Structure formats: structure tokens, C-alpha cells
Amino acid sequence: MQGYGMRDSLKNLLKQFSDFDEQELDYILSYFKPKSVSKNTILLQEGKISKEFYYIHTGGIRTFFIDKKGYEKTRYIMLDNYIGTTLSSFISQKPSFESIQALEDTDLLIINHQDFYRLIKEIDNWKSFYVKILELAYSYQNRKIESLVTLTAKQRYDQLLNETPVFLQRLSNKVLASYLDIREETLSRLKSK
């Protein structure tokens, strides 16, 4: 029964991206496989090739890397009803510089790389879905870089409070700090003000 609810949720999400008909959606969903992982599970290890694209039904995952000084940097966070992966490795099929980790116990639907690209060839609406994903990823990355370059730690924290307050409720200080590119002590200070 749970798998059915997950598939309906993914169908609804896909409809927001493109004008899929029911037949296309059923066909697309036949390629997605359910998976449950527990908190802290590594779905993709840095240096491995990203072969999976994820729909997060409930729970959360993050993409992160370790910088030259040994600090974790969280690049992207996906919570309930989000989709994504480490796109650069998924597209290039070259080793990923990032890892993917479950932030909570998480229920996912997963499509593999081969099937994802098969659908691009077979279904125009899936191709337009893919283009929209790429556009969103590009815009997100640009906004993230802009905020890191132009905003202070406090401004980035305030922006997070306004745009994604759920992150404060659901993420550890360690992950939040690495997402905002600040130290945990700085985050604690900002939270206490």
C-alpha cells in the first residue's frame, strides 16, 4: 500500500513539470523502484559514478563534499516530495566529487541512469521534464553561489529562515552549518539571537 501512495505523490509532482497523460505516467513509474534507507546511509560515495535519480517521498537526503581543509560542505538538501541526484556525475557518468547521504529514515523511488535516458528518447514530456530539472538546478546553483559571495553569515541564515524554515526544524546544526558554509559555533550564535 505504501508503494501506491509514493507513486501517486510522484505522479502529482511530475504533472507540475510537464503535460504528462496517465499512460505516460504509468509507463514512467514502471521504471521507478521503491527503496527505504535509514538515517546516515550513504547512497553514493564520493568517487563513485552516480547511477540513480531519486524521488524522496518522505525523509531527506543531501549532497555534500569535503573541502581541502577537511570540512563538510552540503550543496543540496532534498526533503519530502523533492527529486534530484548529483547531476554532474549522473549526466557525465564520471566519478562524483560529492556523496549522497540520508538525513533521516527515508522512503525513495529510484530510477537508474539507463532507464532515465531511455525515457528521454521515448517520451517528449520526459525530455521537457529533464530540461526543467536542468534549468532549476542551474538557477539554484547560481543563487547559492551568489549568496555565498554577496551575503554575510547572518544574511544567509536569515534567508534560510525566510525561504526554508523547515530546514531549521529537521536538520542537525552540523548539516545546517555546512549548508550555510559557516561554523557550527557561528550557527549557534545566530540561532540564539
pLDDT exceeds 70 at position 2: no
pLDDT confidence tier of residue 61, bands split at 50, 70 and 90: very high
Three state DSSP letters for the chain: CHHHHHHHHHHHHHHHHCCCCHHHHHHHHCCCEEEEECCCCEEECCCCECCEEEEEEECEEEEEEECCCCCEEEEEEEECCEEECCHHHHHHCCECCCEEEECCCEEEEEEEHHHHHHHHHHCHHHHHHHHHHHHHHHHHHHHHHHHHHHCCHHHHHHHHHHHCCHHHHHCCHHHHHHHHCCCHHHHHHHHHC
Provide the percentage of residues in the chain whose pLDDT is more than 90: 93
pLDDT exceeds 50 at position 126: yes
Query: What integer pLDDT is reported at residue 1 of this predicted model?
Result: 39
pLDDT confidence tier of residue 24, bands split at 50, 70 and 90: very high
Beta carbons within 10 angstroms of residue 75's beta carbon: 17
pLDDT confidence tier of residue 4, bands split at 50, 70 and 90: low
Write down all domains in the chain, each with its CATH number in brackets. 2-121 (2.60.120.10)
Query: Which residues, other chains included, contact 106 with Cβ-Cβ below 8 Å and sequence gap of 6+?
Result: 36, 37, 39, 41, 56, 58, 59, 60, 61
Q: What is the mean pLDDT of the chain?
A: 94
User: For 156-171, what is each residue's pLDDT tens digit?
Assistant: 999 999 999 999 999 9
pLDDT exceeds 70 at position 73: yes
Q: Is the pTM of this model over 0.85?
A: yes
pLDDT exceeds 70 at position 3: no
Summarize the confidence of residues 4-22 as an average pLDDT.
91
